[in-house]
Amino acid sequence: MASLFIRFFDEPGPAPIEELGGKCASLVDLTNAGMPVPPGFAVTTDAYTAFVQSSGVADDIHRLLGEADADDVASVDAVSARIRDEIMQREVPAVIRDEFATAYERLQSRFTTPVPVAVRSSATAEDLPEASFAGQQDTYLWLLGRDEVAEHVRRCWASLYTSRAIVYRLRNGIPNEGLSMAVAVQKMVDARTAGVAMTLDPSTGDRSTIVIDAAWGLGELVVSGQVTPDNIHVDKVMLTVTAETIGDKHIELVPDAAAKTIAEREVGPERRGIRSLTDAEAAQVAAMAKRAEKRFGVPQDVEWAIDRTLPEGENVLLLQSRPETVWAHKADRQATTTSGFGIQSITQSLLSQIGR
């Protein structure tokens, strides 16, 4: 019997955003397309909705958000803290807890020893062409144990109402009605190198180029801008490196096996001055990003990693793919402006003819 609250990435079938959120919908779609996505499952939006409704949190959320003013930092912070505290304290229905426990054990059964997982938020309003929600909700890395993972699923639910997320939605006119949160639980990648790839040049909009940012360790430092990564331009057709700038890459995030967590470590000078991925690896990352663009039909912003524990040729993994937004928005604005000028020109031409 199909689960109401759990969806494994490799389960066949449609990947509706309203059930999976933007991130998980993308991961399901990419997995079913044969892309190298680390295995995992989604705790669906139905689980979040059932929780907030059965616990009574939904009414409080609606009331409190009605009091929030995007220009009043203190009021937003107070509303955020109250909502998140209620989400963390209220009882989760037993059926959701049971389905989650079964799914977690099923994921772990795929490996010979217990593996750490990443827990990532996947809101229904994120990763859409008209919005850029990257960083608005939370991600937790290198988690071990069912109870710890379950706790961080709940924290992801709560992160739907961080101050920055509330303000972002208010200022961009994104309604809270119908807003929901799925959560991705995914095998953690032991990244030697990681980063992002854009299937166009973000500085020019050139779609013949794939631009890769890469640094040592986990990619969160690249995504958050805490390190200056290597910047590599790859020809989209030939998959050859056409330009590069070596970044400083002064720190990296690496697993701390003893503490069962991740740790920040300084990168030695011998690795700072060299590129963090080879030409062959850059070509593999570019080819993977190109496949994602073909799958979704629009330029993509891809997160990737090279897993140090996997053999060469199988170690380049896709962690996430979302539509690129900067140039998509520019194209929309340009089309609107061009359309406006066209109407204006036609009107002026008609008036000119009437004047004659």
What pLDDT score does 344 carry? Answer: 40
What is the longest distance spanned by two Cα atoms in the chain? 86
What pLDDT score does 58 carry? Answer: 92
* Domains of the chain by start residue, with CATH: 6-187 (3.30.1490.20), 191-324 (3.30.470.20)
Go through 288-326 and write b for each residue having 16 or more CB atoms within 10 A of its CB, e for each that does not. Answer: bbbbbbebbeebbbbbbbbbeeeeeeebbbbbbbbbbbe
Going from the C-alpha of 172 to that of each of 52, 65, 71, 77, 125, the distances in angstroms are: 24, 15, 13, 18, 11
What pLDDT score does 343 carry? Answer: 35
* E strand or H helix at 266: strand 261-266
- pLDDT per residue as tens digits for the range 95-109: 999 999 999 999 999
Alpha-carbon gap, residue 183 to 121, rounded angstroms? 5
Alpha-carbon gap, residue 296 to 166, rounded angstroms? 28
6-8 and 40-43 strand pairing? antiparallel
Alpha-carbon gap, residue 323 to 293, rounded angstroms? 8
- pLDDT per residue as tens digits for the range 143-155: 999 999 999 999 9
The residues of the chain scoring below 70 in pLDDT are 1-2, 125-137, 329-356
110's CB contacts (< 8 A; 6+ apart) are 39
DSSP 99: H
pTM: 0.84
